Amino acid sequence: MIMRVLLPILVINILGLFCSVVQASPVETFEFKDEITKVRFQALSKELRCPKCQNQNLADSNSPISSDLRKELYELLQQGKADSEVVDFMVARYGEFVLYRPRVSSVTYILWFGPALLIFIGVIVVIVILRKKTVTQENMVLNSTQQEKLKKLLADHADSNSSSTSSTANKE
């Protein structure tokens, strides 16, 4: 009877132990001055890239530099800095690399406008091909000599066909 009571408690405790182990990833606890700052912090730490890691944002990364930058980001936001000021701060130190959404500049024109340009070229190619097709269909109208040749060919074919069917019929 005692076991029946104790066992679930034991199981729950053991499960709880596992849960706490799983949640033990190093995540700082920040106290934000208001909800908006918290949302902005979360958004910016997803937008900013960890400079040491090749492809992780600040929110994801456990590297020491990311933890430092999260702290810095928190400090800047608590000081009341605007998003653009925070981004400028990071870019001034770590370069455009830290931005997951690179700014539009002469270096990134091809990145921003390349896909649109490719679609444009694709559309032009499709239009050109379609136009060519309609032109060849117009050309397919036969002139009178060709028409007569065709009739003759068809007639010959019909003749040979009927004779061959009759010959096979005879064999049977």
In the complex, the residues that contact other proteins under the rule CB under 8 A are: 51-52, 54, 64-65, 68-69, 72, 91-97
What is the C-alpha separation between 83 and 99, in angstroms, rounded? 13
What is the C-alpha separation between 124 and 120, in angstroms, rounded? 6
Nearer Cβ to other proteins (30/65): 65
Classify residue 168 by its DSSP letter. H
Place of tokens 């990145």: 111
Nearer Cβ to other proteins (64/122): 64
Nearer Cβ to other proteins (68/159): 68
- The angle at the Cα of 119, spanning 115 to 125, to the nearest 5 degrees, equals 145
Nearer Cβ to other proteins (83/96): 96
Please report how close the Cβ of residue 63 comes to other proteins at its closest, in angstroms: 8
- The angle at the Cα of 111, spanning 81 to 114, to the nearest 5 degrees, equals 140
Tokens of 168: 């096979």
What three-state secondary structure class fits 61?
coil
